[in-house]
């Protein structure tokens, strides 16, 4: 069995393996797994510069480059951020911890030189522009990190208490933390997590759901995901029930139900 | 001069070239350029499946997989979408055109089987979760496409008339189009676009701006970007003035000033 086929079997299960083009960079992408346990091992010199160069090479809307990144080194600050993000120990353990920011403050500083107040950053679309710019950049950094033998995990829980994180990082108006990212060498082996069959995720021409077929495909995925979780010694709650539990009501948002107000206080997403 | 150094010189200019780790996947990422002119040449079999497999291998918040993608094949639909997106001809020309969706509709269909109405998708944070999920996935697809010798360009202008695009793609509630993506072989050579120096983009521990140093670094970047644009036969408006022109007021949002209302009508970002 080829390397590619092995990777696809892990990702989709043997019944839903698509035919993909054989290519080492594709294999590299298929091989992604998130890492939550980091070795106490220093990173190669130039790691941060490499990840940022990869990140800056990603596309950016209208070349605005409406993002920035903070490397958090101070251990006390790391510990406080970990407490704000659901006590995730890897925020403290990982040798590199980055916070990716949507940033229109730099644009405003440029405009300040001409005594111009920018109006567009307060609009909803600009929040999307900055968040998407940050996400494209960070994903390139993730692909780069894995090329160096490093693992990563995104920290969306950095939005649980958005105001406290903004204060901790001393973010000015027009800036908000989109997510964190831990980077380091693996302390443990991790496995490739299964995903939904492509037939569930891909639509043709319009959004068409095959109401006869979709529930069965999702049930097959739930079985595959449960088998994976058991193999990892994790809880094997049915994936469908996990989705419902995560999205049922505001209690599962862990504070994120308040972020609209915090973003508005940063002068973002006002209208 | 090594390949890596050449790529970095194009990206940052010779005065701000960082030291990065030498690695073929890093070089691949550094080599990105957006492509707006596509050859009339069919794609290899399995291209879509390959890009989607790469996309699904990206991280996704809480494994919700809160995104979907539509491949738009119908030429008439492509032409209508191009008209809605600032008449960008490559939307029609590219052999593959994808629309990336933030999608909580699938989760709601799963919950429907238990007669549960999900509350979290209406919250602001879920809009970010779905948009970020879609962006991470799409960026992996871009890296994969370039591995196959293909070029890409993101189409943020698909949000200019969001409601019309939602209607055209027949999107149900809890779904919105984050951006489009053109994919195909290059019809013309393109060049690596310069980006801001890393010193402007990277902060340490907190958001610190060196008010003495930043304006000069940005001015150096503006000169580099103007030189690049002249070399490409493009307008060489100062980058700082481009940023101001793009963000000055709502007229430059080209309809995107209305997206908050349209998202709300999709039952997204309500609070």
Q: What is the rounded CA–CA span in Å between residue B202 and residue B40? A: 41
Residue A202 has a pLDDT of 98
Of B53, B118, B205, the CB nearest to A73: B205
**Token code pair at residue B192:** 């690596």
Residue A234 has a pLDDT of 87
Whether the pLDDT of residue B240 is over 90: the answer is yes
The answer to whether A23 contacts B111, with C-beta atoms less than 8 Å apart, is no
**Token code pair at residue B250:** 């709502």
The answer to whether B203 contacts A70, with C-beta atoms less than 8 Å apart, is yes
CA distances from B114 to A217, A250, B55, B107, B141 (A): 17, 18, 30, 12, 34
Write out the E strands in chain A.
Answer: 67-71, 96-103, 151-155, 175-184, 202-204
With 0-12 / 13-18 / 19 or more C-beta atoms within 10 angstroms meaning exposed / middle / buried, residue B252 is middle
Which of the four pLDDT bands, split at 50, 70 and 90, describes residue B234?
A: confident
On chain B, the residues whose CB falls within 8 A of the CB of A205 are 70-74, 77
Chain CA centroid to CA A101, Å: 12
Kindly give the pairing relationship between strand A151-155 and strand A67-71: unpaired
Closest residue of A to B117, CA-based? A248
Closest residue of A to B119, CA-based? A249
Whether the pLDDT of residue B1 is over 80: the answer is no
Residue A44 has a pLDDT of 96
The answer to whether B109 contacts A214, with C-beta atoms less than 8 Å apart, is yes
pLDDT in tens, chain A (271 residues): 789 999 999 999 999 999 999 999 999 999 999 999 999 999 999 999 999 999 999 999 999 999 999 999 999 999 999 999 999 999 999 999 999 999 999 999 999 999 999 999 999 999 999 999 999 999 999 999 999 999 999 999 999 999 999 999 999 999 999 999 999 999 998 999 999 999 999 999 999 999 999 999 999 999 999 999 999 988 779 999 999 999 999 898 999 999 999 999 999 999 9
**Token code pair at residue A73:** 């080194």
How many angstroms away from the CA of B258 is the closest CA of chain A?
8
Residue A236 has a pLDDT of 76
Of A126, A135, A256, the CB nearest to B136: A135
Q: What is the mean pLDDT of residues B6-17?
A: 97
For A34-58, how does the pLDDT look when each residue is reduced to its tens digit (9 = 90+)? Answer: 999 999 999 999 999 999 999 999 9
Of A64, A175, A247, the CB nearest to B246: A64
Residue B62 has a pLDDT of 96
Q: What is the rounded CA–CA span in Å between residue B243 and residue B237? A: 10
Q: What is the rounded CA–CA span in Å between residue A107 and residue A118? A: 8
Q: What is the rounded CA–CA span in Å between residue A187 and residue B78? A: 48
Residue A1 has a pLDDT of 72
Residue B245 has a pLDDT of 96
Mutate which of A243, A253, A260, A263 to disrupt the B interface (most B C-beta within 10 Å)? A243
How many angstroms away from the CA of B18 is the closest CA of chain A?
6
Residue A2 has a pLDDT of 86
On chain A, the residues whose CB falls within 8 A of the CB of B2 are none
Return the H-helix or E-strand segment holding A231.
helix A214-231
The answer to whether A53 contacts B198, with C-beta atoms less than 8 Å apart, is yes
CA distances from B151 to B35, B101, B146, B147 (A): 5, 21, 6, 9
Domains of chain B as residue ranges with CATH: 33-191+250-265 (3.40.109.10)
For B57-89, how does the pLDDT look when each residue is reduced to its tens digit (9 = 90+)? Answer: 999 999 999 999 999 999 999 999 999 999 999
What is the spatial order of strands in the sheet that A96-103 belongs to? Answer: A151-155, A175-184, A96-103, A67-71, B202-204
For B152-181, how does the pLDDT look when each residue is reduced to its tens digit (9 = 90+)? Answer: 999 999 999 999 999 999 999 999 999 999
Residue B99 has a pLDDT of 99
Which of the four pLDDT bands, split at 50, 70 and 90, describes residue B236?
A: confident
How big, in percent rounded to 5, are the helix, strand and coil portions of chain B?
50, 15, 35
Of B19, B121, B168, the CB nearest to A49: B19
Closest residue of B to A173, CA-based? B207
The answer to whether B70 contacts A205, with C-beta atoms less than 8 Å apart, is yes
**Token code pair at residue B23:** 């690695």
What mean pLDDT value characterizes chain B? 97
ipTM: 0.98
Cβ-based neighbour number of residue A87 at 10 Å = 10
Closest residue of A to B56, CA-based? A195
The answer to whether A32 contacts B57, with C-beta atoms less than 8 Å apart, is yes
Closest residue of A to B159, CA-based? A125
Q: What are phi and psi of B211, to 5 degrees?
A: -65, -20
On chain A, the residues whose CB falls within 8 A of the CB of B248 are 111, 116, 118-120
Of B207, B256, B259, the CB nearest to A171: B207
**Token code pair at residue A96:** 């590199």
Q: What are phi and psi of A154, to 5 degrees?
A: -75, 145
**Token code pair at residue B74:** 């119908």
């Amino acid at each position: 069995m080829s390397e590619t086929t092995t990777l696809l079997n892990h990702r989709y299960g043997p019944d839903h393996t698509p035919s993909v083009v054989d290519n080492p960079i594709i294999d590299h992408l298929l091989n992604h797994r998130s890492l939550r346990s980091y070795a106490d091992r220093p990173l190669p010199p130039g790691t941060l510069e490499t990840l940022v160069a990869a990140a800056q090479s990603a596309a950016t809307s209208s070349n605005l480059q409406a993002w920035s990144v903070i490397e958090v080194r101070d251990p006390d600050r790391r510990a406080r951020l970990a407490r704000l993000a659901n006590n995730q120990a890897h925020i403290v353990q990982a040798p590199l911890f980055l916070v990716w920011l949507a940033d229109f403050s730099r644009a405003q500083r440029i405009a300040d030189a001409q005594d111009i107040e920018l109006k567009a950053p307060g609009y909803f679309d600009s929040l999307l522009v900055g968040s998407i710019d940050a996400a494209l950049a960070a994903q390139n950094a993730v692909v780069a990190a894995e090329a160096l033998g490093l693992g990563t995990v995104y920290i969306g829980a950095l939005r649980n208490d958005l105001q406290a994180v903004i204060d901790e990082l001393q973010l000015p108006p027009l800036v908000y933390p989109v997510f964190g990212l831990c980077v380091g060498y693996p302390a443990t082996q991790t496995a490739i997590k299964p995903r939904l069959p492509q037939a569930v995720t891909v639509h043709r021409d319009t959004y068409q759901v095959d109401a006869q077929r979709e529930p069965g495909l999702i049930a097959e995925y739930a079985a595959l995901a449960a088998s994976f979780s058991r193999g990892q010694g994790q809880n094997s709650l049915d994936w469908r029930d996990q989705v419902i539990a995560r999205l049922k009501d505001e209690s599962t948002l862990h504070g994120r139900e308040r972020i609209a107000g915090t973003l508005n206080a940063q002068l973002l997403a006002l209208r």
